[in-house]
Chains A and B, each alone.
Chain A
Amino acid sequence: MRSADLLHFNLQLVLRHRFRSLMILLALAIGVAAVNLLTGLGEGAKAYVLSQFSLLGNETLILLPGKKETRGTMPPLTGESPRDITLDDASAISRLPGVVAVAPLSVGMAQVHIGARTREVIVTGTNRAFFDIRQLQLQQGQMLPARDLDIASPVAVIGSTLKQELFGNTPALGQWLKAGDSRFRVIGVLDSKGQAMGMDMNDLMLIPIASAQRLFNKPGLFRLFIQSQSSDAIPAVKQRVEQLMQRRQGGVADITLVSQDAILSAFADILSALNLAVSGIAAISLLVAGILIMNVTLISVSQRTAEIGLLKALGASNSDVQTLFLTEALLMALLGAAAGILLSELGLWAMRLRFSDLAFYSPWWARWLALAIAVATSVLFAWGPSRRAAGLQPVNALQGRRTDA
């Protein structure tokens, strides 16, 4: 049989048995789409979690007061360390070689009043370097002033949600608000950024670190962000900070230094569980797709037993018959897989539009794997029955369906 005729014969089969073809293609497409879509969703979720941990940047160290274990038990509650990290420590660290900037953090709750409105707000004392390290963008106004750490000033930068809740649609810049017993002038509003590392940046009020220490009457820092020149310099900086703190704290460095790598490795179990979940989703959808395709192919072949007998009576050899059925299976697999991939990419695109934070992309291997599974299962499961059918005595096969037209 000529290959052009082979293709034409099978195309005719697809086109003139529209309902049957549609059902087979649907099953194939759903199988392939499931693999692609589910893997894409899993990868998107994984990428989201990873990005949440990566926001810190790999050039940043976090200095915490007290010796803490990052593994095993729950971390102790803050504020129980015998030795505080002070602003003087922060200034000393900022002068160490390899350190570009430090951002101290002092966090507390305060009642914020504006006119008659009152709201409980997390107030964070910090400095200008914090804006760089956390990559905070301003919607309007300016950042905290770049001054020495120990100089207090009555200014505040607020998150976008807080701005909306305190001021509504009226302008906030230049307005005074009262936090505890102190008054602060709003000099900037943060761009909405969402959650990062468990802190809702939209609900934040940032004031100079010295003002915060006065407000909370607490000389110790909650933590200190240390930015190094490069990620390569991190180990050296880490060592210098430890030595310096050992000297300053009288022989024992009662501190904990955390890098992004350490955070990521602490969450290694979660990440590997996520990886496992994504692979599991892909495997299950592949299995389901495979079984779906298998059934469809088996039905398609057994429905055409009579035709196999006829083709043999008309002079087709066993290998001709098998070629016909395998070509049909291959044609269907390719058409179905193409439709399925198109469908799932559309689905992922729609998901990305809906949830702009999450990057729902299926990895390239998922598409190839889905295609390979579609082709392999349909050819494999067309192979067996078509071989059996080709081996049937033609007349028996013909008598299998006497009601043929």
Chain B
Amino acid sequence: MIELHQLCRSFLLGDQAVKALDNINLSIRAGEYISVMGPSGSGKSTLLNMLGLLDAPDSGQYLLQGTDTTLLTDNERARFRRQHIGFVFQSYHLVPRLTAQENIELPLVLAGVPPQQRKPKVAAILAQLSLTERASHLPNQLSGGQRQRVAIGRAIVMQPQLLLADEPTGNLDSQSGLDVVNILEQLNQQGITLLVVTHDPALGQRARRRIRMVDGRIVADEQHSTAAGTLHA
């Protein structure tokens, strides 16, 4: 599903070039559950942005479902993002003036889906995430866990194959965090490819495939047959 070949990306920090991604080679199959861990500044977030087509590499190749994404125009990248990739952020990033329902509907609106087709999709997602009763609440009327569930709903409403989560439990208490992780894992069991970037070892160790990054390089890439440990924050 995803092939990275010798992917490089560096940033200028002052007058010093910092290699955020240094010759990354990675291949991800559909339906995998992957965690990316590593210290701050190790390039985890840059990798996430790269996979999510939010950032473009300096050199190397990124094949997404057989398409070389480095050759795409901005509009084509936007279409790819919209159709294949969902994002979940640590701080939710809901639009504060829109209700839970409208936030979930937003990607459909941006994609130009007619209103009569949007309604049933949003209703199904709300039901799936037990948010039906909160549909017309604004984000500031929701708890952290509810907000993150709305954000997940928004990420999956376009039925993407790839779900990228950046510290999805970082702002949540342990119970809400566990709820959110359960939802993400449930989605993974239904076939979605899940990639979680985290500092939290407990969360990282739930994934079947664990990638460890240091200084822009992948230093470990382990397969585990079963999820180990439980989440405790």
Chain A contact residues, CB within 8 Å of chain B: 1-2, 5, 9, 12-13, 16-17, 306-307, 309-320, 393-395, 398, 402-405
Contact = CB atoms under 8 A, between A and B. Distances in A.
B97 A12 contact: yes
B43 interface: no
Given A316-B82, A317-B77, 9 more contacts: A1-B110, A312-B78, A313-B52, A314-B107, A315-B81, A317-B78, A398-B89, A404-B94, A405-B147
A5 B94 CA distance: 18
Contacts of A318: 74-75, 78
A239 to B, nearest CB: 79
A55 B154 CA distance: 74
Given A17-B97, A314-B82, A316-B78, A402 B110 contact: no
A312 B49 CA distance: 12
A310 B95 contact: yes
Contacts of B102: 12
B90 to A, nearest CB: 8
A315 B82 contact: yes
Interface in B88-113: 89, 91-98, 102, 106-107, 109-112
B112 A5 contact: yes
Contact of A315 (B93, B94, B140, B158): B158
B179 to A, nearest CB: 19
Contacts of A12: 97-98, 102
A12 B96 CA distance: 11
B67 to A, nearest CB: 16
B96 A404 contact: yes
B124 interface: no
A320 B81 CA distance: 14
A356 B11 CA distance: 70
12 contacts: A2-B109, A9-B109, A306-B93, A311-B110, A312-B81, A314-B87, A316-B78, A318-B78, A319-B75, A394-B49, A404-B93, A405-B147
A78 to B, nearest CB: 77
B109 A16 contact: no
Given A313-B54, A315-B79, A398 B93 contact: yes
B112 A2 contact: yes
Contacts of B145: none
Contact of A1 (B74, B87, B89, B112): B112
Contacts of B96: 404-405
B184 to A, nearest CB: 17
Contact of B95 (A307, A395, A402): A307
A395 B94 CA distance: 14
Given A313-B52, A317-B74, A403-B91, A2 B107 contact: no
Please name the 5 residue pairs, one residue from A and one from B, whose CB atoms are nearest each other, closest first. A315-B82, A317-B78, A16-B97, A405-B139, A405-B96
Interface string B124-161: 00000000000000011000000100000010001000
A315 B83 contact: yes
Q: Which of A314, A320, A398, A405 has the most CB of B within 10 A?
A: A314
Contact of B110 (A320, A395, A403, A404): A320
B55 interface: yes
Contacts of B10: none
B114 interface: yes
Given A306-B93, A314-B82, A405-B140, A2 B75 contact: no
A320 B93 contact: no
A394 B87 CA distance: 12
A395 B52 CA distance: 10
B6 interface: no
A319 B75 CA distance: 8
B109 A5 contact: yes
Contacts of B93: 306, 309-310, 313, 398, 404
Contact of B111 (A306, A310, A315, A394): A315
B45 interface: yes
Nearest to A17: B97
B112 A315 contact: no
Contacts of B110: 1, 311, 314-316, 320
A128 B86 CA distance: 94
A60 to B, nearest CB: 69
Contacts of A309: 93
Contact of A402 (B87, B91, B98, B158): B91
Interface in B156-194: 158
Interface string B58-78: 000000000000000011011
